[in-house]
Amino acid sequence: MHRFKVWAPNKNRVDLMSDERQTPMARLERGWWEASDAAAGPGTRYGFSIEGAQTRPDPRSASQPDGVLGLSQVVDHDLHPWTDSGWRGLSLPGLVLYELHVGTFSPEGTFDGVINRLPHLGELGIDALELMPVAEFSGNRGWGYDGADFFAPHHAYGGPAGLKRLIEACHAAGLGVILDVVYNHAGPVGNFLGEFGPYFTGRYRTTWGATFNFDGAGSDEVRRFVVDNALMWIRDYHIDGLRLDAVHAIVDQSPLHILEQLAAEVDALSAALHRSVLLIAETDANDPRLVRNRDAGGYGLDAAWADDWHHALHVALTGERTGYYEDFGAPELLGKALRQAWVYDGVWSPHRQKTRGRNPIGVPPERFVVAAQNHDQVGNRAAGERLAAMVDEGRLKAAAALLLTTPFTPLLFQGEEWAASTPFQYFTDHADPGLGKAVAEGRRREFAAFGWNPAQVPDPQDPGTFERSRLDWDEVNEPYHRGMLKWYRDLIALRRRLPAVAQGVWVQVEGDRIAFERESAGVRVNLGPPGRTVVEIVERA
């Protein structure tokens, strides 16, 4: 016996379609419907038909074995015999994050494939994996930011059971798992939410299409959808934290912002579970309200991204000044990034043609997540080339040294630790040939505007684009890559010897020379011309 529930307000009839059976659902309060099916249980395939229309997957489907267009499958999370009862979660100070994409991290491209590589991560010394989105998205290959079934781990990665195995294996290995979740929009394919209820609004427009209705009529249940999704990952998958994608694209005019509600409910669950859970916002707004405490009028998230740190460093290393890099380049801006993470803290941005950000005074340094590379900064380049394809060994080592001694929370991107030669390109697998073509052409057009030859922009739909982006683990044994890996391991080991909460830093940037000092360690860099970079790491007893 299984009880099915679905929210579909203002509808006259909803039917449960399970296996060959059609069961009319009973109307509950505030737009909810319910039905029981004596023959259903874990593994049962089902969907819902609204007023006789085509059967659709459950908006809260826990599993989509056949993808976003297939039926949902019943999962009983309570049946999983967890083995990590001693695990208490992650603590922010001192944390080193490692971002990975399940599909390209391992040869297998699955959650189990990640498990096979945990020894490498353990030896590297990182504290937590940060998985790019795993919620069911269109097709078998994709970055994951166009999710359609928010509650279902992707079938091609191994589904619910696979994700649970990965998290147990991580916890057994002393590693936490942070999951990237996308609450600023839903993907274009397989997204039937709008057929069920007022999940989306046309009042606010964003870059990526359908934005959630967090503050209009019916928004209570839309908010619950998102908050319950977060709570599910934590409760049913033992996830240690969530990386909230692009929160600057979430518009909510309610007195209780959805992010504040989310943080308050996650904190309450975390307390009930006696397990620490981190909420990390990706933002380009540089808004300290995100990470301020709720009793100071903040939302109470644990940390926020600081892309400015990346941009200031990237420009110093590469000399690139196109696009948003035009806002960086002056040595004093790199100094400010190394000191404060957010360079744009209420100052004029030429690229955005407005004053950007706000001063985060009083926010502890570990609340900023910084990276020298991440999936966006690599993958959003036309050919998805890593920093290692652009600069020499010395500059890569300089970047690593500054990243891993920072008082902020550093994030590595899969393969960065050995200067992987594989790119990370933009790939999709939309079954709809029209959409697939549109995505490919859109991307070519976008980069053509920046002077790229369209033929050099990989086709996202081409399986080869995905394959090229897979890590080549064989190269780790080559001397150059082995040397780089040692550099990263040694730096993480050095970081372990530093205080978890930094007491302050001293930074000086003069032309090509960067000097960075904190408690018992210092980094001195002379970038010099290509091939002549000098990096010196000083550790005091």
- Where do contacts with its own copies occur on this chain (CB under 8 A)? 202-205, 215-220, 248, 251, 253-256, 285-289, 292, 296-298, 346, 348, 352-355, 357-358
Identify which of residues 76 and 220 has a Cβ nearer to its own copies in the complex: 220
Give me the least distance between CB of 435 and its own copies, in Å please.
24
Identify which of residues 78 and 295 has a Cβ nearer to its own copies in the complex: 295
For residue 416, give both structure tokens: 């960065």
Return phi, psi of residue 462, to 5°.
-70, 120
Give me the least distance between CB of 251 and its own copies, in Å please.
7
Q: For 262-293, give one letter per residue: b (16+ CB within 10 A) or e.
A: bbebbeebbeeeebbbbbbbbbbbbbbbbbbe
DSSP bridge pairs for 537: 523
Give me the least distance between CB of 364 and its own copies, in Å please.
17
Identify which of residues 268 and 296 has a Cβ nearer to its own copies in the complex: 296
Catalytic status, residue 245: yes
Q: How far apart are CA 230 and CA 249, in angstroms?
A: 18
Catalytic status, residue 236: no
Q: How far apart are CA 171 and CA 273, in angstroms?
A: 16
Query: 3-state class of 536 per DSSP?
Result: strand
DSSP bridge pairs for 21: 18
Q: How far apart are CA 536 and CA 534, in angstroms?
A: 7
Give me the least distance between CB of 218 and its own copies, in Å please.
6
- Residue 478, by phi and psi: left (phi above 0), alpha (psi -120 to 50) or beta? beta
For residue 174, give both structure tokens: 């002393």
Q: How far apart are CA 284 and CA 245, in angstroms?
A: 10
Give me the least distance between CB of 219 and its own copies, in Å please.
5
Which of 136, 245, 417, 459 is an active site residue? 245
Query: 3-state class of 211 per DSSP?
Result: strand
Q: How far apart are CA 275 and CA 234, in angstroms?
A: 10
Residue showing tokens 């609450």: 183
Identify which of residues 236 and 287 has a Cβ nearer to its own copies in the complex: 287
Which of 127, 282, 345, 417 is an active site residue? 282
Q: How far apart are CA 115 and CA 170, in angstroms?
A: 8
Q: How far apart are CA 246 and CA 259, in angstroms?
A: 12
Identify which of residues 254 and 453 has a Cβ nearer to its own copies in the complex: 254
Contact of 281 with 290, CB cutoff 8 Å: yes
Give me the least distance between CB of 502 and its own copies, in Å please.
24
Identify which of residues 326 and 462 has a Cβ nearer to its own copies in the complex: 326
Give me the least distance between CB of 319 and its own copies, in Å please.
26
Identify which of residues 138 and 283 has a Cβ nearer to its own copies in the complex: 283
Give catalytic residues, as residue numbers.
245, 282
